[in-house]
Structure formats: structure tokens, C-alpha cells
Chain A
Amino acid sequence: AQSVSQHNHHVILSEAASLELGCNYSYGGTVNLFWYVQYPGQHLQLLLKYFSGDPLVKGIKGFEAEFIKSKFSFNLRKPSVQWSDTAEYFCAVRVAPGTYKYIFGTGTRLKVLA
């Protein structure tokens, strides 16, 4: 069965620090990849997605992610975090084609200290 791993469960950073959150999946075929963010008390919002093409994907709010097929990874990065980035981040994988179902990772709670 497919699975998604987010190894960092809790991350604490100071403002202006760089961020990288890991996401690895287990599936040998074609996948679509997503990062969602959930701010406190809010719903999940799409940060970025990858379907094909350039493996470096740029999303909203200065986030980017790189798909490395050989490593089955889709890590999320941001060069300089802000206090407002405090949230929970979820990686999701969709097996392609033919299904709309997501498989989510367990999430990473990011706390940015002002």
C-alpha cells in the first residue's frame, strides 16, 4: 500500500531561518504531489502542487518544493520563515492517473519564534 512519511513532526525555528520539511512516499509509479498548510483554527490550504515538468515547484507565500523521483521525495522549502508561517504542514500524494484520492502524511507542526 502507498504511504507518505513526514519525518519532522515538530520544528521550531527563529524568524529569518531557512526551512526544509521532508516528505517521502512509497509508490513506484506516477504520482501527483501536494503540500497543504493549516493555520491555527483554519482549513487546509494548498501551498503548491506538482504534476509533471520542472521538478522545482514554486507555490504561494515564498514556498517551493523539489520533486526528486529517485529519492521518492518532495521536500518543502522556504529561504526565510516568518512568524506568520507558524502552522501545520501536510504532504499529500495522489496516485496517477485514474484516482482523485489523496494519501496524507502525518503532518509537521512548525513554530516560528519572533
Chain B
Amino acid sequence: GAVVSQHPSWVICKSGTSVKIECRSLDFQATTMFWYRQFPKQSLMLMATSNEGSKATYEQGVEKDKFLINHASLTLSTLTVTSAHPEDSSFYICSARTGENYFQPQHFGDGTRLSIL
């Protein structure tokens, strides 16, 4: 149980294009989803927290106009990297948690490796 699917797993695109990454909870309703970014040999850095039906809360230093997050349903959140540039190349990971039970942990997707040429 508690499977989170992330798509695509790998994307290569030209500088200036926008890229959308999907995060789906397959067998539970995700009231809260999280988006992380991971640089090589570094930790997962939280970018934003999104709750279904409301605007995402971005961490300090994360450009909300650059990284658009939508959490339109209880099973889907999307991250759109707008006008992507080589410095946006990274590994993006989503996670989700269910319900209002504070003790529920986060469940993670497989990640998306984004390479901007």
C-alpha cells in the first residue's frame, strides 16, 4: 500500500522550454504532497508543500513563478518548471501523505531526473 507514482522518470529538453512532472498517489488520497529537489551528493531539499485545493506553500528561496505547483485533486500534484535553464537540471522527488493523522509518514515517488541542454 501507499504507492506514489512519479512521471516521467527522466526528461531531457532544450533550454527555455517548460517541463511538467506528475506525482500521483495510486492507492490512497493524498491530502498533502511535497516536492523536493536533490543535487548530487546532497540532501533532499524541500521546495514546497501543497494541500489539495489550495495554493502551495514555497520554501524560502524557491521561485514560485519558476516552479508552478498544482494540487487539483487528492491523487495528483504537478510541478511545472517554467522556461527551464541548465541550472534547473536536478533530481526532483515528490512525496505524499494521507489523512489528518499526524503520525502518517511521507511516502515517496521514484523521482524525476531533469536535464536541460
| Chain A residues in the interface with B (C-beta under 8 A) | 4, 9, 34, 36, 42-46, 49, 51, 90, 96-97, 100-107
Q: Most chain-B Cβ atoms within 10 A of its Cβ — which of A100, A102, A107?
A: A100
B44 CB contacts on chain A under 8 angstroms: 90, 102, 104
- Per DSSP, chain A at the interface is loop
CB of B106 within 8 A of CB of A43, answer: no
B93 CB contacts on chain A under 8 angstroms: 43-44
| Chain B residues in the interface with A (C-beta under 8 A) | 4, 32, 34, 36, 41-46, 49, 93, 95, 97, 102-103, 105-111
In the complex, A106→B102 CA distance in Å?
A: 25
Number of A-B contacts (CB under 8 A): 46
A100 CB contacts on chain B under 8 angstroms: 32, 34, 49, 97, 102, 106
**Which one, B4, B49, B109, B110, contacts A101 given CB within 8 A?**
B49
Nearest residue (CB) in A for B105 is A46
- Per DSSP, chain B at the interface is strand
B108 CB contacts on chain A under 8 angstroms: 36, 43-45
CB of B4 within 8 A of CB of A43, answer: yes
In the complex, A105→B102 CA distance in Å?
A: 21
In the complex, A108→B32 CA distance in Å?
A: 27
Minimum CB–CB distance for A47 against chain B, Å? 10
CB of A106 within 8 A of CB of B103, answer: no
In the complex, A67→B110 CA distance in Å?
A: 29
Q: A9-B41, A100-B34 are in contact. List 4 more A-B contacts (CB 8 A).
A: A34-B105, A43-B93, A43-B108, A102-B44
Minimum CB–CB distance for B21 against chain A, Å? 14
> Could you write out 30 A-B pairs with CB less than 8 Å apart?
A4-B43, A9-B41, A34-B105, A36-B108, A42-B110, A43-B4, A43-B93, A43-B110, A43-B111, A44-B93, A44-B108, A49-B105, A51-B103, A90-B43, A96-B102, A97-B102, A100-B97, A100-B102, A101-B34, A101-B46, A101-B49, A102-B34, A102-B44, A103-B46, A104-B36, A104-B44, A105-B43, A106-B41, A106-B43, A107-B43
